[in-house]
Structure 1
Amino acid sequence: MKKLVRSRGAMLAVGLVSVGAIGVATRTMPPQAHASAERYSVAVPLPAQTRPAPAALVQAINALGGGFQGHVGIAVRSIDDGWVVGHAMDRRMPQQSVSKLWVAMTTMSAIDEGRLALTTPVAITRSDLTLFHQPIAYLMKDGVFNTTVGDLLRRALTMSDNTANDKLLNLVGGPVAVRDFIASRGLGNIRFGPGERLLQARTAGLSWKQEYSQGNAFAQARSRLDPNVRRAAYQAYVADPPDGAGAGAIADALARLHHGMLLSQQSTAWLLDTMAHTRTGRARIRAALPPGWSVAHKTGTGQDLAGRTAGFNDIGIITAPDGKAYAIAVMIGDTARPVPERQQLIQTVVSSIVAVHG
């Protein structure tokens, strides 16, 4: 079998991105915001690798990635020792709701800069509704749900609520603001798409209409499409996803977050604690953790078509009882394998880390 695992420690190319070049400096910001923007205008390298990756883990990841029937990217980074192993780490896979993490980080950055606060009031109306999973829609009374930025963050991260996420996206300045955040932190091979409505509509072969946010309207409109139209749209999405990201870049970003290189100490702690309460994906990373281990993570799952799924993912930071941590990203970009097999792949990656930890 061709060896697909390679160390990224020596290959971590860090671009120097000027704040002015991405337009951040043109925004009106309080004095403390300028200090924050200056701090992150140059991406700081991750700590150097201090020991080699465990050979048993290299072999396990090679076997798992190479043996799975479908497109899969895997990356595991030791946050303490700096080594990285993986399979197809640089291939962009559909993120789906994994991309909610970048919206959350952009929001927390706005909080660090004083432009928002966790307590900032927000009103959700019917015009804010998106599609698919949006439990916040059932909380509306007389067409309005009054909440806060902090509550929306919690719902977007732990419940993967699409409406909560897209409302935050609008508050911080839309997709351009999130792309600016990704670029200014030097996160590399991570794309951010056009938002939930447009992304899902294009994946299905539809043009978005706000009426699709009500009930089962989106699914009904999708079912009426010419199968060839839908198949072509699906194939175009998985071939070059506008929200695509490499598993290696995601693992690097998680390590940077853990090291406090992306947000303030307070925002970092709040974000990781919130991710530790994620309710989705109970049969993915979390299912393989022994007692005493913990995880802060975000899942992502795309649309199905004829047994295929455009994105079946889990990414996060797992921490051993002794405090050592690992950033992990398992991105299944397109596969027709049954869901239990996908879940088992993610669980086996985690089990392989646990096995070599001691």
Structure 2
Amino acid sequence: MRHVHLIALALLATTPATARPAPSPTAPLARAIARFAPPAPGHLGVAAIDLESGVTLAIEGDKSFPMASAVKVAVAATFLYQVEQRRHSLTEMFTLDETMRARSEGITETLPHAGVALSAANLLELMLTVSDNTAADMLIQAVGGPQAVTDWLKASGIEGQRADRGIARLILDDGNKPMTPGLTEAQSLARFEPVEPWKTDTEIWPPNPAFDSDPRDSSTPLAMATLLAKLYQGQLLSPDHTRLLFEIMARCKTGKPRVIALLPPGTPWAHKTGTLAGISNDVGVLTLPNGHHLVLALFEYGVADAAARSRTLADVGRLLFDGFLMMPETK
């Protein structure tokens, strides 16, 4: 009888009804990060994936956030996929239609005269490193429009991310500015001042709640993190194009006060920012000192103070850096 009793106790201890679930390794980190969430109407979305261990953390991971220029990761990937389909090439020259010149850093500020022609590789470089809106709209047009980007995302197994508008139209809508009859989106945008109140990380401009809640041109943090993970792991593009994409993203010049701000000097961070009135995003792949690669997708909206948004992303970025580095599962 005693033997049977011991067996029964052993079985009871392992039954699902009484077994104590293992604590999530990310739970303490998630609680620490949640303290940085802005007060309403602000929202903070976070997704992080350790590509070596598979450990994942998400806060509002399935909520849709406006991507702003973070959509340019998907635009670049769609174009590179079409290069592999022999629909385009990196050496292909694109002549700028002056009616598409959207005022932003890059082409418009450095090449103000008519007659601009750039290779696809240079358009990718400008779009991803200085977030050039003209280069982005030229590439969006080249791939077949925003719907082609969404179609590629769906075909790649990315649910929860969509592209719907060109960048010039996105900026017009964010500022509640109408299209001017007879003019293109870029020309209509050029009629309004200031064109880019979100150009720096120190401006204070009121959020646009209607724009923020618009499902168009949005992504969940987990969708963006999944896209970056699949890209980095070579599941969506060839090795050469995967390497090119992340080499360009590693040269990103925007977002200095965001994720990278509080990290140890020299930390590799291949990323893309997104910024509009009340919106700051920073998404990419971070290399930890232990050699692990940490995908991060940080989204914030509904906060007028751009500097405050940047501080939040910097603080959260550092928490994720330290938290994932110290997890036993990542060593």
- Contact 2:102 2:189 survives alignment (8 Å): no
- Contact 1:78 1:84 survives alignment (8 Å): yes
String of CA shifts for 1:203-237, please: whole Å, max 9, x gaps. 33333244763895222799xxxxxxxx9x93321
Cα pair distance change 1:61/1:68, threshold 3 Å:
farther
Structure-2 separation of matches of 1:255 and 1:84: 11
Structure-1 separation of matches of 2:232 and 2:92: 26
Aligned-pair distance for 1:344?
1.6
Q: 288, 296, 312: which one pairs with 1:320?
A: 288
Q: Work out whether 1:114 is the aligned partner of 2:86.
A: yes
Q: Work out whether 1:197 is the aligned partner of 2:207.
A: no
Structure-1 separation of matches of 2:128 and 2:306: 22
**Residue correspondence of structure 1 range 172-321 to structure 2 within 5 A:** 172-209=143-180, 210=183, 213=187, 217-219=191-193, 234-303=208-277, 309=278, 311-321=279-289
- In the alignment, what sits opposite 1:143? 114
Structure-2 separation of matches of 1:236 and 1:141: 34
- In the alignment, what sits opposite 1:342? 309
Cα pair distance change 1:204/1:79, threshold 3 Å:
same
Aligned-pair distance for 1:140?
4.0
Structure-1 separation of matches of 2:195 and 2:31: 46
AA partner of residue 291 (structure 1) = P
AA partner of residue 310 (structure 2) = Q
SS at match of 2:178: coil
Cα pair distance change 1:183/1:296, threshold 3 Å:
same
AA partner of residue 121 (structure 2) = G
Cα pair distance change 1:323/1:141, threshold 3 Å:
same
**Residue correspondence of structure 1 range 142-181 to structure 2 within 5 A:** 143-181=114-152
The percentage of aligned residue pairs carrying the same residue is 29
SS at match of 2:270: strand
Cα pair distance change 1:216/1:67, threshold 3 Å:
closer
- Contact 1:122 1:146 survives alignment (8 Å): yes
SS at match of 1:80: coil
- Contact 2:249 2:270 survives alignment (8 Å): yes
Q: Work out whether 1:124 is the aligned partner of 2:105.
A: no
After TM superposition, the score normalised by the length of structure 2 is 0.81
Q: 85, 91, 96: which one pairs with 2:63?
A: 91
Cα pair distance change 1:298/1:69, threshold 3 Å:
same
Q: Work out whether 1:329 is the aligned partner of 2:297.
A: yes
- Contact 1:139 1:145 survives alignment (8 Å): no
- In the alignment, what sits opposite 1:18? none
Cα pair distance change 1:247/1:276, threshold 3 Å:
same
Gaps of 5+ in 2: 1-22, 197-204, 327-331
AA partner of residue 92 (structure 1) = S
AA partner of residue 193 (structure 1) = D
AA partner of residue 342 (structure 1) = R
Cα pair distance change 1:55/1:173, threshold 3 Å:
same
- Contact 2:179 2:188 survives alignment (8 Å): no
Aligned-pair distance for 1:68?
7.9
String of CA shifts for 1:174-206, please: whole Å, max 9, x gaps. 112101111100111112121112222233333
Structure-2 separation of matches of 1:183 and 1:86: 21
String of CA shifts for 1:95-144, please: whole Å, max 9, x gaps. 1000111110001101111211111111113122124x243024447511
String of CA shifts for 1:32-55, please: whole Å, max 9, x gaps. xxxxxxxxxxxxxxxxxxx95344
- Contact 2:48 2:296 survives alignment (8 Å): yes
Structure-1 separation of matches of 2:178 and 2:95: 26
- In the alignment, what sits opposite 1:38? none
Structure-1 separation of matches of 2:54 and 2:123: 33
Q: Work out whether 1:351 is the aligned partner of 2:330.
A: no
Structure-2 separation of matches of 1:258 and 1:80: 12
Structure-1 separation of matches of 2:190 and 2:55: 46
Gaps of 5+ in 1: 1-50, 223-230, 304-308
**Residue correspondence of structure 1 range 39-78 to structure 2 within 5 A:** 53-65=25-37, 70-78=42-50
Cα pair distance change 1:286/1:136, threshold 3 Å:
same
Cα pair distance change 1:213/1:93, threshold 3 Å:
same
String of CA shifts for 1:61-110, please: whole Å, max 9, x gaps. 23233768711211111111112112111111111000111110001101
Cα pair distance change 1:221/1:138, threshold 3 Å:
closer
SS at match of 2:35: helix
Structure-1 separation of matches of 2:113 and 2:292: 49
- Contact 2:221 2:298 survives alignment (8 Å): yes
